[in-house]
Structure 1
């Protein structure tokens, strides 16, 4: 389903208004199709639960990337169509005059064209004038026909692609459901410690800030705590945990005037959140006014805090490989993609649809640092 969606996009995206943007969308569509094919092969060959989770994670990401490419293409098509319609409307009088001239030329027979009040010489001059003007009229008529045809083509493309997008959204939802089940069935993850729910509950009750909770969390260890191993993190080169656009940077105040040390990303509804590096889950669950929170420890004295999810995967103490699913964003009310308008508005902070937001904080020891010092991004 999504494969047909992204491949069809790659074919027609060249018709859009901005050539460079169209090429980017087409390339993204082809990459998503290739990723989905590979994920399907990996899923068919998966023997372990962790392999199935990894393949389904790649499947969900491929759906998200393909749908993003299609939305971008649809948006460009709508913009191009609107521009053409405005241009044609502005040229309405000019177009009417052109059509009248063409109709007049078409009705005149040879005998009429030879008659002229000034005699043969006037007829010759008129003929020369008509001969000079006719190619220009024909060129304008051809340009008009091309514009009208492009409007019709863009409209048809939008209608067809919007229907395909609705199918793609259903496929993505099925993949997310399969991923959630696969995560629930997974039992082969290594563990660094076993959470003490009493200690965690006491810590939550005793703290009033994320800073206090994170500081206290680093002091909680279990009797089976094992030393951490693995390569050091590539600071500054980590991928963001979710595709999105930066709404607020570290230290920027929100609408209520509250400034926090983390960043806020606008994401698509139900976007998949993954761990940017191999890490131990230190906490997953509700926390203060942050909603559902996942706190990961990729290495000693480093914490990644992700807040604002609607669904969480995993349990405290589990060691996740890089790229493993952490959870899903909210916004899955079933209305996205039900018509052309909502399809085009379901973007990262675009249109009238309110985006989902993920809060990201990074702590080195007990000190929060700018997350953009850790993550590679060219957005925002």
Structure 2
């Protein structure tokens, strides 16, 4: 497997103690992708196949993200070293010339001097003082050249690893969709009435109006629940890896102000339930695209909008960490992943997930419930 070959190559080429070294970063990412590949193989026999596949996809996403960052570090470092070496071409040529002269000249000739023995002694003393400096500069040059070669080999080998990782995560997503379709063991609090749902959708023009009418879309009574997540308020993890673009009540570039948070994510990122919850609605809604509305406790709704795929059925009670959807977009090409043009700018997070929290039919700041202090 190419991943194992990459791991072996990096182990030979870089010191394990270099915490911020690009090669070490890529090594750790390759290990993550290797483990994700193993997880995908083992997921077929897992008792909870949905959870196993969800964890596999998350492992792939983390590994691909780490590999992307490591390779961009490598590309940036290579460009830096190459520029430095080019700027020192004349100095390098002179150094190589001196070293070559010292290497090829016979020792007795080196010791001869026109002034006789005294001059030879002085020349020898000067040479003994200069030689360590020349050797140090030569070793530094050799180290830089070796690092450039190592970084180039790393990038060439890692392209194959990225292809395997991208293929693996796509296979895992397909398997996850199949496993969710086959799932029949989740408890239900109500059964949806499709006609009532369609009427509610057609008769409402805002998320407020739709959310307030959710109790009308069931065929019968909605079972009571004593679920309570209030002890986790402010500490609930975000449903996907991402970076906050807009906070509650901030105006975006289009001049729109919303009471929720806008999260920038990578294409096809998996979105999971941040707590155990009831699926109150899933599907297209207004101009928000595909929407997932979860109820973790009575009177509290988590609204996730902007999904491409949504998983589960209305009325199901799902455990924490259950996949509820995938973000839109296409997986990036290898060239885009390796490019340094977007390094640090977040442009690889091209999709947006809108998160709104509603408590007793009124929107509240999502950051009062979710942790947003960590970038994904």
Fold conserved between structures, TM > 0.5: yes
User: Once the 2 structures are TM-superposed, how far is the Cα of residue 292 of structure 1 from its aligned partner?
Assistant: 0.8
Contact 2:264/2:353, CA 8 A, preserved across alignment: yes
Which among 326, 343, 346 is matched to residue 328 of structure 1?
Answer: 326
- Structural mapping, 1:80-119, within 5 Å: 80-119=77-116
Give the SS at the match of 1:19.
coil
Superposition deviation, residue 259 in structure 1: 1.4
TM-aligned CA distance change 1:270 to 1:349, over 3 Å: farther
Aligned residue for 1:126? 123
Q: How many Å separate the matches in 2 of 1:276 and 1:347?
A: 30
CA-based RMSD of the aligned residues comes to 3.1
Unpaired segments ≥5 residues, structure 1? none
2:277 is aligned to: 279
Shift of 1:36: 6.5
Alpha-carbon distance, 1:179 to partner: 0.4
What is the aligned residue count?
373
Distance 2:165 2:267 in 1: 14
What pairs with 1:171-182 in structure 2 (closer than 5 Å)?
171-182=168-179
> Secondary structure of the equivalent of 2:130?
helix
Shift of 1:272: 0.7
Q: Which residue pairs with 2:368 in the alignment?
A: 373
Matched, 1:136 2:133: yes
Instruction: Provide the residue aligned with 2:206 in structure 1.
Output: 209
Match of 2:286 among 288, 293, 297: 288
Q: Does the aligned pair in 1 maintain the 2:81–2:144 contact within 8 Å?
A: yes
Check whether the contact 1:311–1:327 (CA below 8 A) recurs between aligned residues. Answer: yes
Moved more, 23-32 or 204-213: 23-32
Tell me what 2:297 maps to: 299
Q: Which of the numbers 322, 335, 342 marks the counterpart of 2:337?
A: 342
Q: Which runs of 5+ in 2 are unaligned?
A: none
Contact 2:26 2:71 in 1 (8 A): no
Counterpart of 1:208 in 2: which secondary structure? coil
Cα distance between partner residues in 2 of 1:43 and 1:256: 45
How far has the Cα of 1:193 moved from its partner?
1.0
Counterpart selection for 2:357 from 362, 367, 371 = 362
Aligned 8 A contact 1:344 1:351 in 2: no
Tell me, yes or no, if the aligned pair for 1:32 and 1:66 is still in contact at 8 Å: yes
- After the TM superposition, which of the residue ranges 219-228 and 199-208 deviates more from structure 2? 219-228
Q: Which residue of 1 aligns with 2:65?
A: 68
Distance change >3 Å, CA 325–CA 347, structure 1 → 2:
farther
Q: Give the deviation of 1:41 after TM superposition.
A: 4.6
Q: SS state of the match for residue 74, structure 2?
A: helix
CA distance in 2, matches of 1:69, 1:329: 19
Q: Distance in 2 between matches of 1:372 and 1:87?
A: 46
Q: Measured at CA, do residues 245 and 13 of structure 1 come closer, stay the same or move farther in structure 2, by a change above 3 Å?
A: farther
Shift of 1:56: 1.4
Counterparts of 1:66 and 1:245, CA distance in 2: 18
1:190 and 2:191 are equivalent in the alignment: no
Question: 238, 246, 264: which is aligned to 2:262?
Answer: 264
Are 1:19 and 2:19 an aligned pair? yes
Secondary structure in 1 matching 2:278:
strand
What TM-score do you get using the length of structure 1 for normalisation?
Answer: 0.87
- SS of 2:205's equivalent in the other structure is coil
Alpha carbons of structure 1 residues 179 and 38: separation in structure 2 relative to 1, 3 Å: closer
CA distance 1:242–1:29, shift in 2 (3 Å): farther
Distance between the aligned counterparts of 1:227 and 1:301, measured in 2?
Answer: 12
